[in-house]
C-alpha cells in the first residue's frame, strides 16, 4: 500500500508517528481527534460483487490516511484485480488505503468489482476502519457496517 503523505508528526519530528501536516497534532505525543465515516453501496449479480465505499473525515483534525477493511462472507474467485492502494490481507479480507482525508472534504471513493466461486444466493459485507493514523474517534459507530446482500442485483446502501 502507498504510504502517501505519512510523516513523523511535528516539524521537530517528535509528533505522533503517522500524523502528517495538518493532522491536528499540536503537542508532541497527543493524538488528533477525527470522526471517520464510511458510506456506500454493494450489489450481487450472477456471482459478481460490486462495491463502492466513500470514506469521509468529519474532523476536527485532518488525517494523513485511513485504511478500510472489507471482509466478505465468501472469498473472491481467483486473484482479484484490485485498485491501487488495496491488497488482499486474507482469503476473504481486503485492505485499502484512502490517502489524505481533509476535514469535511469530499472523501475518497473506492470502487471494486469481484467475482465469486459459483453463484451465491447472498453475501455479507463487513466494512470497518482498520487504521486511522492513531486518531481518537468519538463516534466509531459510523466506521463499521455489516450489509446482507441478496443476489438480486439491487444496490444495498450503507
pLDDT tens digit sequence for 65-112: 999 999 999 999 999 999 999 999 999 999 999 999 999 999 999 999
What is the pLDDT, as a whole number, of residue 23?
45
Cα end-to-end distance, the chain, whole Å: 25
For 109, the 3-state DSSP assignment is strand
**Cα–Cα distance list, 17 to 23, 40, 139 (Å):** 11, 30, 22
What is the pTM assigned to this prediction? 0.81
Question: Could you tell me where the beta strands, DSSP code E, fall in the chain?
Answer: 34-45, 48-60, 67-72, 86-90, 93-97, 108-115, 122-131, 145-150, 156-157
- Domains recognised in the chain with CATH numbers: 34-153 (2.60.40.1460)
pLDDT tens digit sequence for 1-46: 444 433 333 333 333 344 444 444 446 678 899 999 999 999 999 9
Amino acid at each position: 500500500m502507498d504510504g502517501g503523505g505519512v510523516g513523523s508528526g511535528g516539524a521537530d519530528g517528535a509528533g505522533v508517528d503517522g500524523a502528517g501536516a495538518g493532522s491536528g497534532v499540536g503537542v508532541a505525543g497527543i493524538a488528533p481527534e477525527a470522526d471517520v465515516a464510511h458510506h456506500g453501496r454493494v450489489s450481487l449479480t450472477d456471482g459478481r460483487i460490486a462495491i463502492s465505499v466513500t470514506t469521509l473525515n468529519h474532523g476536527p483534525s485532518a488525517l494523513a490516511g485511513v485504511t478500510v477493511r472489507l471482509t466478505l462472507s465468501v472469498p473472491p474467485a481467483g486473484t482479484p484485480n484490485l485498485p491501487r492502494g488495496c491488497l488482499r490481507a486474507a482469503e476473504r479480507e481486503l485492505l485499502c488505503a484512502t490517502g489524505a482525508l481533509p476535514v469535511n472534504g469530499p472523501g475518497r471513493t473506492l470502487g471494486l468489482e469481484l467475482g465469486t466461486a459459483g453463484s451465491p444466493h447472498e453475501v455479507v459485507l463487513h466494512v470497518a476502519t482498520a487504521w486511522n493514523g492513531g486518531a481518537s474517534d468519538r463516534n466509531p459507530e459510523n466506521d463499521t457496517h455489516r450489509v446482507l446482500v441478496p443476489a438480486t442485483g439491487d444496490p444495498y446502501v450503507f
